[in-house]
Structure 1
């Protein structure tokens, strides 16, 4: 049975309400939220195969997994704009002051753009995570193991020459930035991104079972434990409400109206182009694809029991948040549905 609710702020656009309702209906998950902001008007549609939770779905905090990297990219851009970092710092020297710098060191910029020559995960990650693979794999790999694995790793390719998506690399970035600034990652994110943008419904760990959405396994019925990012906070620890995520995206749509304008513009700037016809464009924080009207920026993410999609289009002033509480599975329609909704807008 499907239980759904549509909420409009500052007026509801009938066309968007219908589109969001269809999108929610296309996703088979216990809880699903599709939320759009267009020219300052917000419309949300919630539904799912499970009965409505005690707290309305649009007020729950959801795990966004790798979409957390959009927050990490903006934080790094802000620190660079403020002159606290340059992006060119060798990560190893940040983590181990006095360490001899190699001829071609891995820099913070290499880490955030996935060009550091690192694998997706450390070589010994799977061995350590396997006993808790279905419950808490990342939690078994703490910060000190992430940094130690990086300091021992020898890239196969010269940094900056090849792109390979790496949770490992962005996790290292978080620890290197914290070491270079002398400030814990959680405090950096709070001071430079969350509090300035008013994101009071965003955190790096589960805090309240009444307000944190519960994930589910591939069967859509078995509840999963709250995601523990372990030493990978910068790569995937963020959990947030749909409204906080819309606020985050709205700041990207209107940089001129923000005191962080330079950083918000910086994370739109292409830093890497790859693939046939250079279709795949990357910024410090986003994937960027072309549309008929202009570029769209997006990032998706997943944990053991939830999925997320964040995206925005400057040409139409549209931001889209999509969330669901079911683990990704083969032929899953969630990401494709969210991507198409924004790309075809």
Structure 2
């Protein structure tokens, strides 16, 4: 496992069990599997509960794969920063520079152009969802709303989009924007698909063997919504916004790489090390909040100077959160196979667990 230098693996001890039990309660009866992965100082643990399906199946383990939903966006941001570090693009590049041949950009009415940095900071002015997606999602809204929205519809939707605010001027969370960014990165990355780019630039260097965009990955936890098993999540037109799935063990590798971005040496390479640092740099202050936004990552500074970086995710069948604090060498990934609902508080409970670990009081 790529990890903190000198870390002591603690996969099968009791450390973190209390927090896992807390997350199991927060996930509620809708989830059959819950994973908590933690790094704190020199200690690491991956705690698991339940089985991959309410109907039975194999036990949940550190290698059980969950759908990550919007946590995918942090991978897209890291790909952007890696391509920039290798000189294959620049954060200030206009979108038009990396559009596939024959694609028309959005119509920007004021200012412009939209730049890659705007897509990675949700300031492009693009709407939350691309035109045409809701129409295509009606039949599968409760299970797989993105499944019928492929690249052809993305191309048509972009051409139909009008941006009415000056790019870079306003924050507006956009699956459309980061999904489009993922597509542009495949052009800049010499035409490799998003899944291939992810595997080549991030997963292999960091030793993330279970991380994939494939809906049919082995050892996957079945997603559930209101206790009902769902088919695997599919998001073919916007994979950079929500297609990645990963295990608790892999996410611990991923987060630990962010904790020590400059110490990867030949294991990561200079460009990926630079990219891991670049995604953590605050870019703007969020409206009506003291929080800031980095490249996709949310950034919160505590009164005692600790920096908390975090992102949550959800599909119809899974809820997830990842977070890390560089000052205390703390990282947490929390995963369950029940989709978000108004009644659950899994993501908030996971964030509360992370805050305690980041203060050095978790895991007792």
Same fold (TM over 0.5): yes
2: CA distance between counterparts of 1:60 and 1:22? 20
Q: Residue in 2 aligned with 1:196?
A: 205
Aligned residue for 1:279? 290
Offset at residue 92 of structure 1 (A): 2.9
Unaligned regions of 5+ residues in structure 1, if any? 1-7
CA distance in 1, matches of 2:36, 2:112: 44
Contact 1:147 1:172 in 2 (8 A): no
Go from structure 1 to structure 2 and tell me whether the alpha carbon gap of 1:214 and 1:329 turns closer, same or farther (over 3 Å shift).
Answer: same
Deviations along 1:152-209, one digit per CA (max 9) or x if unpaired, are 311010100001000000111111121233322222211111111111100002234x
Alpha-carbon contact 1:32-1:325 (below 8 Å) kept: yes
Moved more, 156-165 or 14-23: 14-23
TM alignment of 1:1-345, pairs within 5 A: 9-10=9-10, 16-28=16-28, 29-48=31-50, 50=54, 53-96=57-100, 104-183=112-191, 184-208=193-217, 211-217=219-225, 219-220=226-227, 222-258=228-264, 259=269, 260-276=272-288, 278-291=289-302, 292-345=304-357
SS of the residue 1:300 aligns to: strand
Label 1:145 to 1:93 Cα distance change in 2 as closer, same or farther (>3 A): farther
CA shift at 1:19, angstroms?
Answer: 2.8
SS at the partner of 1:344?
helix
Instruction: Determine the C-alpha separation between the residues in 2 that align with 1:200 and 1:11.
Output: 18
Distance in structure 2 (CA, Å) of the matches to 1:92 and 1:216: 39
Q: Distance in 1 between matches of 2:220 and 2:15?
A: 30
When residues 115 and 94 of structure 1 are mapped into structure 2, their CA distance, relative to the original with a 3 A threshold, is same
- How many angstroms does 1:55 deviate by? 4.5
- Measure how far apart 1:272 and its partner are: 1.1
List alignment gaps of at least 5 residues for structure 2.
Answer: 1-7, 358-364
Q: Is the 8 A contact 1:12 1:41 kept in 2?
A: no
What residue number does 2:362 align with?
A: none
- After TM superposition, the structure 1 stretch with the greater mean CA deviation from structure 2, 262-271 or 101-110, is 101-110
Task: Give the deviation of 1:15 after TM superposition.
Answer: 5.8
Instruction: Provide the rounded CA distance (Å) in 2 between the counterparts of 1:94 and 1:26.
Output: 43
Between the two proteins, the alignment pairs up a number of residues equal to: 334
